[in-house]
Amino acid sequence: MPKKMVQIPGSERQALPGATISGNIDPTEQIEVTVRLRANQPIDKQKLFDIGRRKPAERRHMTREEYEADHGANPDDLAKIQAFARENGLTVGDVSREERKVVLSGSVQAFSKAFNVELKEFQHKTGRYRGRTGPIHLPEDLVPIVEGVFGLDNRPQAKPHHRRAKPKAAGQVPSSFPPPQVGALYDFPSTVNGSGQTIGIIELGGGYQASDLPAYFQGLGLRPPSVQSVSVDGANGKPGVDSNADGEVMLDIEVAGAIAPGANLVVYFAPNTDRGFLDAVTAAIHDRTHTPSVISISWGSAESGWSAQAMQAMDQAFQAAGALGVTVCVAAGDDGSSDGVSDGQNHVDFPASSPHVLGCGGTRLEGSGKTITSEVVWNDGPGNGATGGGVSGQFGAQDWQKNARVPNNGSGQPGRGVPDVAGDADPQSGYQVVVDGQATVIGGTSAVAPLWAGLIALINQELGKPVGYLNPLLYTLPAACFHDITLGDNGSYKAGPGWDPCTGLGSPDGAALLSAMKA
């Protein structure tokens, strides 16, 4: 008797706005899917919050071995999914208890039957993609153990959050900076260089030319950092194919590397799909070879463009990062309070809206030497870029933001406020970098994530241990740890004293932050 099929909660998807079905998918086409399983024992979020409130010297993080034993997938659950795959003519690939995943491969026809979905070819302004609408189904006895199925749909999930500088109009004052100059303006610790730390960088496209890096860093008077690449889901960095994506990769490497030149940089390249993004994040968090203590993410998209299962799975991955002592810094977006969604409503960018990451907003910075002369919210006007920020419609109000006066979201409900912190992002006061052999200036909140990642690597080195999940602690630190941004707006939200939905708590005073974390 056939087993009853039940939909997986949160797996529903709609076609991309403006997409049209252009045909059927070849039923023999081979694809790969990641099945994400429930944890043997969920992470206690209250315990994670309590750890996050402690000063770093008092924190004790789990080892990856301890995490796997306590919070990895149940071996019986892994076995059930492998048996299900074999029953449906699917091949089992990578199985990871720690990452709670089973990778399956097979034909479109086999997957369509196994998960009761109809895959079609869609045409969209971003290009062709294999897609589905509605939910994914599984036999009734498997639904409780499966938290998500990723890869049936390969639409582009995220975009890079950077902007290239345009020729300046008359009267525009800000000028660009080499990354170390931004660090000097923010008084980053100068007696450490990130030695002993590893910064993981997530990339969903593009690549870097290794030959660009020695000359760039030597031009800054720095020793080039160690840069390695990790392939996720078969993706590899391919410079020269997409100059826009190359700009993102080089910006991330050059900013993080210039702030913490003694750190090891590991770039995780993955396909730009929900599966690729999630697999890259979990690969970095659970990487026992490179063991990053900080991860920088400069890609994302509005919460409305994600399935509930994908946001849940990603947020759980960030909870794992917190338990392991890994800090995750994420760009808040470059399209203001709408986050680029043209429905007249406010939106925030995910994964920056996850409560377990450090959301990074943007400012326009002016100054020289170690003196800031002006810093306001980055907003270059409609279509020209502005810092993302607002209130999540997916994640509720957070205890650590209870005194931040976070407004309600668009549905009138309390929510997680975005961003947490900020830094220089306006391309007109942007970062001097080299992309595909060409010197250029780039801004965007994409630059702020690696900027903060570099700072945290410096702080980790000075403290002698990783700080890990930072948000609960940051909101208790003295105001002097931040440059409070009180002028400007990102569309619907205005800056003001204290936390605001444009620049969060403000841009960093690196020396004051380090001193407060030592105290």
Per-residue model confidence (pLDDT) at position 465? 94
Per-residue pLDDT of 123-165, as tens digits, reads 999 899 999 999 999 999 999 999 999 999 999 999 999 999 8
| 326 pLDDT above the threshold of 90 | yes
Report the SS3 class of residue 21. strand
Report the SS3 class of residue 440. strand
Q: How many CB atoms lie within 10 A of CB 247?
A: 23
Question: Is pLDDT larger for residue 46 or for residue 170?
Answer: 46
Per-residue model confidence (pLDDT) at position 410? 87
d(CA 10, CA 395): 14
Token look-up 């697999």 returns 279
Token look-up 């590893």 returns 198
Per-residue pLDDT of 345-369, as tens digits, reads 999 999 999 999 999 999 999 999 9
- The ranges assigned to domains in the chain are 5-38+73-150, 159-165+175-480
| 169 pLDDT above the threshold of 70 | no
d(CA 483, CA 488): 14
Per-residue model confidence (pLDDT) at position 243? 87
Cβ atoms of 437 and 212 closer than 8 Å: yes
Per-residue pLDDT of 437-475, as tens digits, reads 999 999 999 999 999 999 999 999 999 999 999 999 999
d(CA 519, CA 517): 5
Report the SS3 class of residue 150. strand
Peptide bond into 419 cis (omega under 30): yes
| 61 pLDDT above the threshold of 60 | yes
Maximum distance among all alpha carbons in the chain? 76
Per-residue model confidence (pLDDT) at position 174? 60
Per-residue model confidence (pLDDT) at position 172? 55
Q: Which two tokens stand for residue 265?
A: 């940089």
Judging by beta carbons within 10 Å of its beta carbon (0-12, 13-18, 19+), is residue 388 exposed, middle or buried? Answer: buried
Per-residue pLDDT of 231-261, as tens digits, reads 999 999 989 888 899 999 999 999 999 999 9
Q: Which amino acid is at 355?
A: P
Count of residues for the chain? 519
What is 159-165+175-480's CATH number?
A: 3.40.50.200
Active site residues: 248, 252, 446
d(CA 118, CA 136): 9
- Of 173-177, 251-255, 269-273, 276-280, least confident by mean pLDDT is 173-177
d(CA 382, CA 377): 14
Per-residue pLDDT of 4-19, as tens digits, reads 899 999 999 999 999 9
DSSP 380-430: --TTT-B---EE-SSS---GGGTTTTPPP-TTS----EE-SEEEE--GGG-
Reported as a pLDDT band with limits 50, 70 and 90, residue 166 is confident
Rg (the chain; Cα; Å): 22
Cβ atoms of 460 and 197 closer than 8 Å: yes
Report the SS3 class of residue 69. helix
Per-residue model confidence (pLDDT) at position 168? 60
| 420 pLDDT above the threshold of 80 | yes
Tell me what the mean pLDDT of segment 415-421 comes to: 98
d(CA 450, CA 265): 11
| 1 pLDDT above the threshold of 90 | no
Residue-averaged pLDDT of the chain: 95
DSSP 475-488: TTS-GGGEE---S-
Give the pairing type, strands 421-424 and 431-435: unpaired
117's CB contacts (< 8 A; 6+ apart) are 111, 132, 134, 136, 137, 152
Cβ atoms of 393 and 343 closer than 8 Å: no
> b vs e for 97-120, b when ≥16 Cβ sit within 10 Å of the residue's Cβ?
bbbbbbbbbbbbebbbebbebebb
Token look-up 């089992």 returns 92
d(CA 37, CA 49): 24
| 170 pLDDT above the threshold of 90 | no
Cβ atoms of 94 and 233 closer than 8 Å: no
Segments of 280-326 assigned E as strands: 294-297, 299-302
